[in-house]
Structure 1
Amino acid sequence: MKLVSLSVRRPVGVIMIVLAIIALGIVSVRNLAVDLFPKIDLPIAVIATTYEDAAPEEVENLISKPIESSISSIEGIEQIQSQSQTDSSLVLMMFKNGTDLDQALLDVRERIDQVKDFLPERAGNPKIMRFSPDQLPVIWIGLTGKDAEILTELADDEVVPFFERQEGVASVTVEGAKTREIQLVLNESAMMQYGIQTQEIIQAINSANKSASVGTIEKGTQDLQVRITGEYTSLTDIKQTIVQSESGASVQVQDVAEVTDTFKKTNSLTLVNGEPSVVLSILKKTDANTVDVAKNIQKSLAEINGSLPEDVNLNVIIDTSDFIQEAVDSVIQNILIGGVISVLVLLLFLKSIRATIVIGLSIPIAIISTFALMYFTGETLNILTLGGLALGIGMMVDSSIVILENIYSYRQKGYSLFDSATKGAAELTPAVIASTTTTLVVFLPIVYVEGIASDIFTPLALTVSFSLLASLIVAITLVPMLSSKLLSKAMEEGRRYWFDRFLERVNNAYAGVLKKVLKFRKTSILTTILLIVGSIAVTPLIGAEFIPAGDQGQMEIRVETRPGSSLEHTEDMITQVNDILHETDDLIDVSFVTVGGGDFASGTTSGNVANFTIQLVPASERDTSTAAFVQQLDEKLQSIAGAEIIVSEMEAGIGMGAPIQVQLNGPEHEVLRELSERVVEEIKGIDGVYNPESEASLGVPQLKVEVDRDKAALYGLTVEGIQSQIEMHFIGQVITIFREEGREIDVSLMYPEEDRQTISNLEDMKINAPNGAVLPLNELASFEEVQGPVTLIRHNQQAQMNVTSEVSGRDLRGVARDIEAHLEGMDLPEGYSFSIGGEAEDMAESFSDLTLALIFSIFLVYAVMAVQFENFLFPFIIMFSMPATVVGVVLGLLVSGLSFSIPAFIGIIMLAGIVVNNSIVLVDYINILRRRGLDRYEAIVEAGRSRLRPILMTTLTTVLAMIPLGLALGEGAEMQQPLAITIIFGLTVSSIFTLLLIPVVYTYFDDLTKKVLRRKSNI
């Protein structure tokens, strides 16, 4: 080929191009962002709305349903799911893949603007945002000290602005802060004495706390704007505000209410290592480097700490970049180990340092070129892209090995260095291009894969493709050029080493086995079929899972007391948990707990739930794995009575939701609650189902107040009027804003806490009627204690109830199938249905997409080979190396104890392009020898003996270079382990079948071709 000849004739030009690529790659790798996973683009948006002191039923009817109705007709929306819980509503919109999310969010905002004026008065403004894993905090920092008020002020005034100025920081959220509030606690007896109503106090304060512009007046040539300033400047102003009663009495606010400057009551608490703290969670900008942002924050801590009071400290609680850096470092280490192994294999076969250097140069050049291409395509350095390099490092030298072997054979025939390099490289360049292309085309069907599988597959595919393209160009340009200049001595016959003698014995043994296989062709084919069928038969023993999880040394503990428990009671429980945690201080680096609070999606907004986040010391400093420590700690914590405690490992996987989630849909929440309890009982006995739980079992106690409308009407009262008086009495009301030094502080009117704590307080509460009558509430309403839901879920505007379950001792797919079979036998009421969600659903969808990609990949591989050989028959012969990979894949997963997963499936797709490479080289050389005049039998045996060496070299470099990943060495390697195991065993077994089965298949098809041609000649 002209490219080969040109590279040999113009060595200086080739070297200059290589140096330019290396320089570009070095610059690119310095600018590549580092992250744990690639960016996952989920077409999901969220509308979050607060509704203070409202039960889930009110939140659903007054917030969630109106929002659902307003957005339901927006183009591109595939699913709408709402979660209505105490104080908040969360509406998730899942759009079709390919939807322009920016435009869709504009449409959503327009619809929300139309409906938000009809939402309740206490409802906050709906917040619309796109859902992205990038929105998770990069680092958590604890602000500790004695005075909560000082910590809050420092956080708001100094610390948050300081961190938000750091490069790459998008926002800083404060947790555990106390919000200042001026409370007017009413004295009910004094109000009755003076005949003052709450509405009169509200009106007086609002009238007094006002500033306004009232016009302009002239002063000479100037117009002066007249502004009346009547806003409060101190608490004394509030206390001395005059309140006029209807009877004409004038009193000051301080006569009927106690005015205090304090903090709003909260049902949440944040503790770091057992001490009350303010915690700052820092989010990075979308395009920022996670590791760099974390480093910037770490460096700036010393500066901000120096400006804080002595008794106040800032400390890093959890830094997600630590695990990212460790995971990336471990993958880089695996790449280096794999590269060294590949070079040692080359040295063993080639017996020449110069020859090894010639081929070994393919690895660094391919890697550096890949970094440059990654930079320009917007990829990041993560465990998947670097894993792709680690997986491809052995394959990078395959093309160079084949080219160099042929150059070597021409040199042995007496050709000059120049002619050996040009003829040897040019002869096999088409086969090398074909073999590389077959590996590359398997990645094209990624366009048909969607969701998480695509997000995982695409960066891996691009990285492997880039590295193989670079190595191919090196093989057909740099290798021939260097061979013509450096390998004069390396190609001369020298003394024989022990490995040469061993390789010759292997070659002779192979030739003998090949001759027997060709003699007993039917037996060979039958044996192969039996092995493949047997492997398929034992696949149920392997099991299936979504994505393997990694051990990042993080765990969480969920402590849940009885629904409705006070914050103080929950705090007592976590004190007991902390006492047990202190027994294992040598393993725990930091413990961060939030009592109550939580986020919209978790539902943990009540004081009966506490969530611990625990970071263990680095793996090198402990002998116990995170999983083992979780089990030990779980056993100890079960001794604590009065709370349900669940200990779990925080996984580095990217699965969505619980492993098993049974989604029950229907018109009525009450019916769904009953059905969910039945489902729990139904699946409880299924093998592998662990801790099944219905959301209905998480109900909170409620006191249902039902107003007697007729009796209320007699006094001129309405349900709405009674409701507003109850709200005022038990919730209070923000009546104005007090401004101080640029801050806005709520001024709230409320009744004493001791008057709004018990059922008796509610029953005896005085209701003021328009006609002047004052009645206790129990004369106008009845009371009933009921169990209310924690969260009300709706899916596509229909009620939904979920039953979740962990999986233990069995594979996810088998458990999901058994659950589905049991539920299909349930007699559900008309209008009610079920579906399986969670990781089981994600796994099924991903496997379905990947199956389509695999089928399309196999077709593309065949098409590439048909074009290369200009023949439909030879590619079909080569394709027979694919079914044999099943034997290796099943054997590998059984031996390693791994389940079939998305990475393993991706490994099979990659194998479809890899395993045919050896067959291409073998069949192509058989054809070359037959064209030289050898008969079929001699050509097959000679091609087998001649190609055994390069086939062994390419197979061993690929397989051995993947062993570090197959052993899951280092942090975060668990995710690539199934992929590596699949390729290691699949390629090894397939190579054996290639060397033995493909020659047999070749003879059968050759016989078939002769029969067809003979019939045509007779016709």
Structure 2
Amino acid sequence: MTLSDLSIKNPVFPVMLAAAMMVFGYLGYREMGISQFPEIDFPVVNVTTYWEAASPEIMDYDVTDIIEDAVSGVEGIDYIQSQSLEGVSVVTIYFHLSRDIDVAMQDVQNAVSAAAHRLPTDIDPPIISKVNFNKFPVMWLSVFGDRPLHEISDYVDTHLKQQIETIPGVGGVMYGGLRPRNMRLWLDGTKLHAYQLDALDVMRALREEHVEKPAGYLQSERREFNVRTMGEARTAREFEEIPLVNRDGQIIRVRDVAIVEDGLADKRSFSRSNRKPNVGIGVMRATGANVVALCDEVKRRLPGLRANLPPDIEIGISTDYSLFIKDDIAEVKLAMLLGIGLTALVTFVFLGSFGTTFNVCLAIPASLVGTFIAMRLCHFTLNFMTLLGLSLSVGVVVDDAIMVLENIYRRREHGEDRLSAALVGAREISFAAMAATFSIAAIFIPVAFLRGSIGLFFFQFAITV
């Protein structure tokens, strides 16, 4: 017994099957993310190294060249790019698309660790991370007001950041125009010479004294205390009291050779809102999060964030990238709905029957909504490529339905009863319908196996079709 025979003799079965597909398809649709393009994870690893105040030439010779030489032997590398800037070295390793990014990152970490003894001893440890091209701010918030910039920066970094990062779907934040608090020491060359000191002596003393280290325990018969050495200076006054050297009982402190300023970090970025200096907060989404839902949730929580702000500080939305995604997806959805409507109109014009047209068009929502089940299991998102695949599938679904119904009506015109016409007509055309469907699949399946970045981009399109 064929599937068509089973469905005609037991009509409850196809009705329940279609209903189940639409229900579970709708549940899958609710859980799917929305993005402009498919999420593609390229195997790219970044090695960033900081060396304070080093020139680009020194960074290139002493850091970048060594790291490039160390990672060049890692398997599966396509090419390497590097930048040597003032105090920063950035080495980006691009692997072949077939390379597993987690394994590649581990190999890079091992290679850099093996070459660590060749790097300068006073640099910061290299930072090795995966490059996620989808991890960019989806919304920029602007924090401004009639307060000094250092107060706004301090509030954003110590309070507002934590509140935003707790929003579901947020994968981190980045700043624009933030200048964190910074202690500056203005050394007096004359006083340093008088005390027979130099800047290196001051730097060495700060590194040894401005630190908080564990100091062990104090134990008695019944109690045990954890001992801390409160060595970190928190204010300008505490910095002034840091000892530099002890000579015959005379302690020379920072205040004797320098002026301590409780200021801000160097001005490396600048941000304005309504002609006022502000601090920008870029909200980045977590991997697989729904961009539109995330931005809507941030907007929903914005009144609560405003309520907790200090006086004279405001927060607003300066850029919302979800608006562009909503407009683009809405255009594609409208095009798909217009395609369904035109398909129904053309079917009615040629078949001339409302009942036939309704039966043909009934297959469209059942097939399209049911596709969301597979899309959700494959972790696809609603984007240009998947919606384009659904739009192209409308004609394929209608073609099969028209062929089967036309053959059934032909047998009815020859005098057969409804049951026999449906059974024989569907059985006669089933092979042709299957052949037409598989021929369409044979065209689009190779698209899923395209290689390179284009293949990754069109994979969701081909599987959706």
Report the Cα offset of residue 222 of structure 1: 5.7
1:226 shift after superposition: 6.9
Cα RMSD between the aligned structures?
Answer: 2.6
**Alpha carbons of structure 1 residues 259 and 450: separation in structure 2 relative to 1, 3 Å:** same
Q: For the structure 1 residues 304 and 280, does the alpha-carbon distance in structure 2 shift closer, same or farther, using more than 3 Å as the test?
A: same
1:73 counterpart SS class: coil
Letter in 1 for 2:368: I
| Contact 1:197/1:245 (<8 A) preserved | no
In the superposition, relative to structure 1, how do residues 401 and 241 fare at CA in structure 2: closer, same or farther (>3 Å)? Answer: closer
The 3 A distance-change label for structure 1 pair 201 and 403 is closer
Q: Aligned-pair distance for 1:459?
A: 1.2
Residue 337 (str. 1) matches residue 365 (str. 2): no
State whether residues 195 and 247 of structure 1, in contact with CA within 8 Å, keep that contact through their aligned partners in structure 2: no
8 Å Cα contact 2:177/2:271 also seen in 1 = yes
Question: What CA deviation, in whole Å up to 9, does each residue of 1:863-904 have, x standing for no partner?
Answer: xxxxxxxxxxxxxxxxxxxxxxxxxxxxxxxxxxxxxxxxxx
Q: In the aligned structure 2, how far is the partner of 1:9 from the partner of 1:158?
A: 67
What is the match of residue 33 of structure 1? 33
Task: Report the 3-state secondary structure (helix = DSSP H, G, I; strand = E; otherwise coil) of the residue aligned with 2:298.
Answer: helix
AA partner of residue 54 (structure 1): A
Change (3 A) 1:211 1:413: closer
Q: Deviations over 1:692-750 (max 9, x none)?
A: xxxxxxxxxxxxxxxxxxxxxxxxxxxxxxxxxxxxxxxxxxxxxxxxxxxxxxxxxxx
Distance in 2 (CA, whole Å) between partners of 1:44 and 1:58 is: 26
Q: Is the 8 A contact 2:176 2:269 kept in 1?
A: no
| Residues 180 and 70 of structure 1, relative CA distance in 2, 3 Å threshold | same
- One-letter code of the match for 1:293? L
CA distance in 2, matches of 1:239, 1:56: 33
Task: Name 1:53's counterpart in structure 2.
Answer: 53
Q: Aligned-pair distance for 1:354?
A: 0.7
| Contact in 1 for aligned 2:210/2:242 (Cα 8 Å) | no
Aligned runs of 1:209-220 on 2, under 5 Å?
A: 209=210
Matched with 2:267 is 266
Question: Where does 1:272-671 land on structure 2 (aligned, <5 Å)?
Answer: 272-446=273-447, 448-464=449-465
Q: Equivalents in 2 of 1:39, 1:227: separation in Å?
A: 48
1:302–1:226 CA distance, 2 compared to 1 (3 A): closer
The yes-or-no answer on 1:119 pairing with 2:119 is yes
Correspondence 1:51-130 to 2 at 5 A: 51-121=51-121, 123-130=123-130
Amino acid at match of 1:390: S
TM-score normalised by the chain length of structure 2:
0.91
The code of the aligned residue for 1:99 comes to R
Post-superposition CA distance 1:585-613 (Å, at most 9, x none):
xxxxxxxxxxxxxxxxxxxxxxxxxxxxx
Q: Provide closer, same or farther for how the CA distance between residues 238 and 423 of structure 1 changes in structure 2, counting only shifts above 3 A.
A: closer
Match in the other structure for 1:139: 139
Distance 1:27-1:201 versus aligned 2 partners, 3 A rule:
closer
Distance of 1:166 and 1:405 partners within structure 2:
55
CA distance in 1 between counterparts of 2:123 and 2:357 reads 72
> What secondary structure, in the 3-state scheme, does the structure 1 residue paired with 2:120 have?
coil
CA distance in 1, matches of 2:176, 2:400: 57
1:14 aligns with 2:14: yes
Larger Rg: 1
Q: Distance in 2 between matches of 1:220 and 1:16?
A: 75
* C-alpha distance in 1 between matches for 2:341 and 2:167: 41
1:119 to 1:441, Cα distance in 2 relative to 1, 3 A: same
Residue pair 1:200, 1:245 contacting (<8 A) in 2 also = no
Change (3 A) 1:273 1:50: farther
Distance 2:370 2:377 in 1: 11
Aligned residue runs from structure 1 range 797-836, under 5 A: none
Matches of 2:167 and 2:217 in 1, distance apart? 46
What is the identity, as a one-letter code, of the residue corresponding to 2:128? I
Q: Is the 8 A contact 1:346 1:356 kept in 2?
A: yes
User: Which structure's relative contact order is higher, taking Cα pairs within 8 Å and 6+ residues apart?
Assistant: 2
CA deviation after TM superposition for structure 1 residue 110, in Å? 1.8
1:426/1:121 Cα in 2 relative to 1: closer, same or farther (>3 Å)? same
SS in 1 for 2:266: coil
Give the superposition deviation at 1:385.
Answer: 0.6
The 3 A distance-change label for structure 1 pair 430 and 264 is same
What are the superposed Cα offsets for residues 347-389 of structure 1, whole Å, 9 maximum, x if unpaired? 1112211111011111111111111221122211112111111
Work out the CA distance in 2 between the residues paired with 1:54 and 1:366.
62
Distance change >3 Å, CA 358–CA 28, structure 1 → 2:
same
- Once the two structures are TM-superposed, the CA of residue 208 in structure 1 deviates from its matched residue by 5.2
Contact map agreement 2:445 2:463 (CA 8 A) in 1:
no
**Take 1:138 and 1:96, find their aligned partners in 2: how far apart are those partners?**
28
Q: Cα 1:271–1:248, aligned 2, differ >3 Å: closer, same or farther?
A: same
TM-score, normalization: structure 1? 0.43
Structure 2: runs of 5+ lacking an equivalent: none
Which residue of structure 1 lines up, in the alignment, with residue 2 of structure 2? 2
Q: Deviations 1:768-823 (Å, cap 9, x if unpaired)?
A: xxxxxxxxxxxxxxxxxxxxxxxxxxxxxxxxxxxxxxxxxxxxxxxxxxxxxxxx
Cα distance in 1, alignment partners of residues 384 and 214 from structure 2: 62
Q: Deviations over 1:422-467 (max 9, x none)?
A: 2222222211211111110112223541223212322111222xxx
What is the Cα deviation at residue 145 of structure 1?
Answer: 2.1
SS of the residue 2:115 aligns to: helix
What is the distance in 2 between the residues matched to 1:306 and 1:439? Answer: 57
SS at match of 2:125: coil
Which secondary structure does the structure 2 equivalent of 1:286 belong to? coil
* 8 Å Cα contact 2:448/2:463 also seen in 1: no
| Contact persistence 1:145–1:313 (CA under 8 A) | yes
In the TM superposition, what is the alpha-carbon distance from 1:205 to its structure 2 partner?
5.0
Distance 1:315 1:233, change over 3 A: closer
How much has 1:239 moved relative to structure 2?
2.6
SS across alignment from 1:258:
strand
Structure 1: distance between partners of 2:389 and 2:40: 17
Equivalent residue number for residue 907 of structure 1? none
SS at match of 1:133: coil
Kept in 2, the 8 Å contact 1:195–1:245? The answer is: no
Q: Quick one: distance in 2 between partners of 1:408 and 1:363?
A: 20
How much has 1:320 moved relative to structure 2? Answer: 1.6
- Give 1:221 deviation, angstroms: 6.1
Q: Which whole-Å CA distance do the structure 2 matches of 1:370 and 1:227 have between them? A: 61
SS of the residue aligned with 1:393? Answer: helix
Shift of residue 224, structure 1, vs aligned partner: 6.6
What one-letter code is carried by the residue in structure 1 that aligns with 2:433? Answer: V
Preserved CA contact (<8 Å) 2:56 2:86: yes
What is the aligned partner in structure 1 of residue 152 from structure 2? 151
Q: 1:150 to 1:406 in 2, by over 3 A?
A: same
Shift of 1:104: 1.8
- Counterparts in 2 of 1:204 and 1:424: CA distance versus 1, 3 Å: closer
Structure 1 unaligned runs (5+)?
465-1019
Alpha-carbon distance between aligned partners in 2 of 1:55 and 1:230, rounded to the nearest angstrom: 32
Q: Secondary structure at the match of 1:361?
A: helix
Maintained 8 Å contact 2:235/2:262 = no
Give the Å deviation of 1:246: 7.4
* Maintained 8 Å contact 2:135/2:284: yes
The letter of the residue matching 1:20 is: A
Take 1:430 and 1:49, find their aligned partners in 2: how far apart are those partners? 64
Structure 1 residue 173: deviation in Å? 1.6
How far off its partner does 1:400 sit? 1.0
Aligned equivalents of 1:431, 1:254: Cα separation in 2: 93
Kindly tell me: are residues 205 and 38 of structure 1, through their superposed partners in 2, closer, same or farther at Cα, counting changes over 3 Å?
closer
The Cα of 1:159 is off from its aligned counterpart by: 0.8
Q: CA offset at residue 41 of structure 1?
A: 2.5
